Amino acid sequence: MTVVLVLLAGCAARESTAPRAGGVLYFYQKHLSPVDGDRCSMYPTCSGYAAETFKKHGFPVGWIMTCDRLLRCGRDEMKRSPVLTVKGRTRCYDPVAANDFWWYR
Amino acid sequence: MMEDAKRLAPFVVAVLLLLLLPWACCGSAAGGSTVVIHGDEQYQYAEECFQDGDYAAAMVAFKRFVHFFPGDERKEPARFKIGLCHFHLEHYTRAADLFRQLSGSFSTSKISAESRFMLAKTYGRMGRSGSAKRVLQNFLAVAETRGLKDRICYELAWLSLERAGTMEKGALDRAEEWLDRIGDSGKARYNKNRIKTGIAEMKAMETKSPAVAGAAAIIPGAGFVYCRRYKDGLVSFLLNSCLIASAAASFDGGNTALGAVVSFVAAGFYSGNIYGSITSAHKYNRSKILPRLHRMEKQYRYDPSRHWDLYGSSGKVSSSGGKMVVFRISF
């Protein structure tokens, strides 16, 4: 469990998708992420990605895609996806559409 | 006497002002310039904006042309250009509406044909490739000339190639089939052989099988390693192992509730590992195919609409049906 929390904390960011996101994500973005700071190296950040994928695909698929994203965050994806500069920080662009293109039309 | 004059002075001034005010107003209007704009000038201005890539201005100018010169023979081309402006400005729904209208209203004209092609292209941009395909296939069913059929087949081939960019299964084969339907007369024009060579090269490229990646991911991380994502593979292996071990330990220790929570998280990460491996294989293949596709598109994609004298463009002055259509703007 600690490992999961460490992974989530590693993706802390203040990007707000709050009202649209579920209660847990809202709580995370509103209260936990500001404490930990903006550290996610991907864009959208993992919590923003989770909010988007839950909205787009609903619970089971959204949950699986969020876990997949947490596994990939900040590692090999950095060399393979386009790079963006967001708020002065270089981030790896990895939207939901780049991960569901092969089955979701 | 003097007192009477002083009393009357404000009235005299007021009367004079009342008399002069309308004159002053009219005077300012009469003193401005009057611009007479002919249909040709308006169309030419709109064309210039379009050629400069200022699609917002071009759209307004074309709309003005259509409104003020409804009898002009270039009304339909102007409406088509409005559709193109919407397309370039990424107002795809409006563009599609307009192209749909134009494709129906002048069924035998070049405008109608071009509108159908643009409608398919717009649907493609909207992500509605099925609709795009239907538009082109219906068009193919009613097309009479060999040249038109060739072009429709060519556009259908490119539609399939675009689908190949999203890793759709069999898209490259379908593109080849459409290219094969292009007749000998269109072979050189549409670079048929070169595109087919490009497709053959893409097919021969080293790719990763999503099925193998997914199967390998039964051992956490192995699917990522198969797709040459070694760090992701290691993290996936460690994380999933830890989660599965802690879930098992929780159940063994009699902590059923904790075990259930950890199992839920573990199930998510395990499934995420499989999903990510399959996606990684698709991404790997896409990273090989897309650059080749873009290069091919740049080198060989032929846009016949550029070669047709279709829109009455290049600012040519047309006869306007012998009528002199003007409107005036007063400043």
Over its C-alpha atoms, chain B yields an Rg (Å, rounded) of: 34
CA distance, residue A85 to nearest chain B CA (Å): 22
Of residues A1, A71, A100, nearest to B273 (C-beta): A71
Taking an 8 Å cut-off on Cβ atoms, the answer to whether A68 and B273 are in contact is: yes
Q: Does B39 touch chain A (CB under 8 A)?
A: no
Per-residue pLDDT of chain B (331 residues; tens, 9 = 90+): 556 666 666 666 666 656 655 555 554 445 567 878 888 889 999 999 999 999 999 999 999 999 999 888 888 899 999 999 999 999 999 999 999 999 875 555 788 888 999 999 999 888 888 899 999 999 998 888 888 899 999 999 999 998 888 888 889 999 999 999 998 888 888 888 899 999 999 888 888 999 999 999 999 999 999 999 999 999 999 999 999 999 999 999 999 999 999 999 999 999 999 999 999 999 999 998 888 888 888 888 876 555 444 444 433 333 343 344 444 443 3
Of residues A3, A65, A80, nearest to B275 (C-beta): A65
What was the pLDDT predicted at A72? 94
What was the pLDDT predicted at B328? 41
Q: Does A91 touch chain B (CB under 8 A)?
A: no
3-state secondary structure labels for all residues of chain B? CHHHHHHHHHHHHHHHHHHHHHHHHHHHHHHCCEEEEEHHHHHHHHHHHHHCCCHHHHHHHHHHHHHHCCCCCCHHHHHHHHHHHHHHCCCHHHHHHHHHHHHHHCCCCHHHHHHHHHHHHHHHHCCCHHHHHHHHHHHHHHCCCHHHHHHHHHHHHHHHHHHHCCCCCCHHHHHHHHHHCCCHHHHCCCCHHHHHHHHHHHHHCCCCCHHHHHHHCCCCCHHHHHCCCHHHHHHHHHHHHHHHHHHHHHHHCCCHHHHHHHHHHHHHHHHHHHHHHHHHHHHHHHHHHHHHHHHHHHHHCCCHHHHCCCCCCCCCCCCHHHCCCEEEEEC
Contacts 24+ apart (CB under 8 A), B85-91: B85/B50, B85/B55, B85/B56, B85/B58, B85/B59, B86/B59, B87/B118, B87/B121, B87/B122, B87/B125, B88/B53, B88/B55, B89/B55, B89/B56, B89/B59, B90/B125
Residue pLDDT, tens place only, B156-199: 999 999 888 888 888 999 999 999 999 888 888 888 889 999 99
For B20-59, give one letter per residue: b (16+ CB within 10 A) or e. eeeeeeeeeeeeeeeeebebbebbbbbbebbeeeebebbb
Residues 92-151 of B with CB under 8 A from A: 127, 129-130
State both tokens at B91. 């107002």
pTM greater than 0.80: no
Q: Does B243 touch chain A (CB under 8 A)?
A: yes
What was the pLDDT predicted at B19? 62
Residue pLDDT, tens place only, B228-273: 999 999 999 999 999 999 999 999 999 999 999 999 999 999 999 9
What was the pLDDT predicted at B11? 65
What was the pLDDT predicted at B319? 38
What was the pLDDT predicted at B22? 55
Q: Which residues from chain A sit within 8 angstroms of residue B232, using beta carbons?
A: 71-72, 75-77
pLDDT at residue A48 tops 80: yes
Of residues A65, A71, A101, nearest to B239 (C-beta): A71
What was the pLDDT predicted at B205? 87
